[in-house]
């Protein structure tokens, strides 16, 4: 149903810059000043989270912007407590905008006596009072089925396609999209189709967790500008090794497009010293100073996509229309000249 009042935004502390950018984009779309809801989300001395909303939200269509990135547990609890606050304040509908969905890598039992944490997190969100989820590039798309509420999973590949067409416009015929593992082929194929490029795969074999024993390149990458595409990059070990492997197989240069730049531990140092020409990430996770200052890391904004997704959710129109170039290009026309 379409709500008569304007959508209201509230943010936790996980990624305030993104929430502010979304509010700014909404202001442009609505032709009026859209601000984040006046609230405080803070911690007591013992680490407990406290939330207080300073404005009336009764009957309002509320959107909580809060990725559950590092520290995942703190940010998840913030999301749940904000939700409970809004529910007890008689909000009309509560939608969680979760640019990065933490615990998504724990989507199945990999061995005996292990949890399916993604399902547990889904249960907690629904029980808290969230009625709809808007997220981006879930690590495993079947997580949508863990919820008994609507889940809209946006994709970064349409935006990456615009970025690639802009930055590689003089040599697009030499571009090859590479999946860093067999499991990511569908994601890589989608991007390859959008830019009309061939597809290659790096097949990796592990002897034990965290250690790669062997990498095999499937496809002819000789003389190609290879673009590795994946949903997230954590410590960047696999990514940097895949880049070296591609160059060893004759690739002209290697770039990477990753949706979620987790970039923990030695990741930034590895990327800085790697053979990759560039690593492109989105701002679904707030970038650290080290990431911002890294010369070969570039950040693509997602605020235009999330702002339009919020508007479409609010007024009851199609969210999947954001996957089409006809809808997407106008949102990014100030950034890309195609």
Please check if 145 is assigned to a binding site. Answer: no
- C-alpha–C-alpha distance, residues 94 and 157, integer Å: 27
- C-alpha–C-alpha distance, residues 147 and 131, integer Å: 10
Please check if 236 is assigned to a binding site. Answer: yes
Asked whether 132 and 96 are in contact (CB, 8 A), the reply is yes
Say whether 207 sits in a helix, a strand or coil: strand
Burial class (CB in 10 A: 0-12, 13-18, 19+), 98: buried
The residues near 193 (Cβ < 8 Å, ≥ 6 apart) are none
Residue 57's Cα: distance from chain center in Å? 28
Asked whether 337 and 52 are in contact (CB, 8 A), the reply is no
- C-alpha–C-alpha distance, residues 67 and 87, integer Å: 20
Half-sphere exposure of 217 (CA within 13 A, CB side): 22
Say whether 36 sits in a helix, a strand or coil: strand
Set 204, 225, 277, 292: catalytic member: 204
Please check if 248 is assigned to a binding site. Answer: no
Please check if 206 is assigned to a binding site. Answer: yes
- C-alpha–C-alpha distance, residues 23 and 328, integer Å: 18
Phi, psi angle pair for 3, to nearest 5°: -95, 145
Please check if 46 is assigned to a binding site. Answer: yes
Please check if 238 is assigned to a binding site. Answer: yes
Q: Provide the token pair at 295.
A: 């010369």
Please check if 47 is assigned to a binding site. Answer: yes
Asked whether 64 and 82 are in contact (CB, 8 A), the reply is yes
Please check if 61 is assigned to a binding site. Answer: no
Is position 204 annotated as part of the catalytic site? yes
Please check if 106 is assigned to a binding site. Answer: yes
Name the binding residues: 46-48, 105-106, 139, 181, 206, 230, 234-238
Q: Which amino acids are annotated as binding site for D-ribose 5-phosphate, given as ranges? A: 206, 230, 234-238
Q: Which residues are catalytic?
A: 204
Detail the residues annotated as belonging to a binding site for Mg(2+): 139, 181
Query: Which residues are known binding-site members for ATP?
Result: 46-48, 105-106
């Amino acid at each position: 149903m379409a709500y008569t009042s304007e959508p209201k935004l509230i943010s936790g502390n996980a990624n305030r810059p993104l929430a502010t950018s979304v509010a700014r984009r909404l202001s442009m779309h609505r032709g009026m000043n859209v601000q984040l809801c006046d609230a405080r989300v803070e911690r007591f001395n013992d680490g407990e989270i406290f939330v207080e909303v300073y404005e009336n939200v009764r009957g309002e269509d509320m959107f909580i912007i809060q990725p559950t990135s590092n520290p995942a547990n703190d940010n998840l609890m913030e999301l749940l407590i904000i939700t409970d606050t809004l529910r007890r304040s008689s909000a009309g509908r509560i939608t969680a905008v979760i640019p990065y969905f933490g615990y998504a890598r724990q989507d199945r039992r990999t061995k005996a006596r292990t949890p399916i944490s993604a399902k547990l997190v889904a249960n907690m969100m629904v029980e808290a009072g969230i009625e709809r989820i808007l997220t981006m590039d879930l690590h495993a798309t079947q997580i949508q089925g863990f919820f008994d509420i609507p889940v809209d999973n946006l994709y970064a590949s349409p935006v990456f396609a615009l970025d690639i067409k802009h930055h590689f416009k003089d040599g697009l015929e030499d571009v090859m999209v590479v999946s860093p593992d067999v499991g990511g082929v569908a994601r890589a194929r989608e991007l390859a189709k959008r830019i009309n490029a061939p597809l290659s795969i790096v097949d990796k074999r592990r002897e034990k967790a965290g250690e790669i024993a062997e990498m095999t390149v499937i496809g002819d990458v000789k003389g190609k500008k290879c673009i590795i595409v994946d949903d997230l990059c954590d410590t960047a070990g696999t990514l940097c090794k895949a880049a070296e492997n591609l160059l060893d197989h004759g690739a002209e240069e290697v770039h990477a497009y990753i949706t979620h730049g987790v970039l923990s531990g030695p990741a930034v140092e590895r990327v800085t010293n790697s053979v990759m020409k560039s690593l492109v990430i989105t701002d679904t996770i707030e970038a650290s100073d080290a990431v911002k200052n890294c010369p070969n890391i570039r950040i693509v904004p997602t605020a235009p996509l999330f702002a339009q997704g919020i508007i479409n959710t609010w007024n009851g129109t199609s969210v999947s229309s954001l996957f089409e170039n006809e809808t997407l290009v106008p949102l990014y026309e100030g950034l890309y000249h195609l």
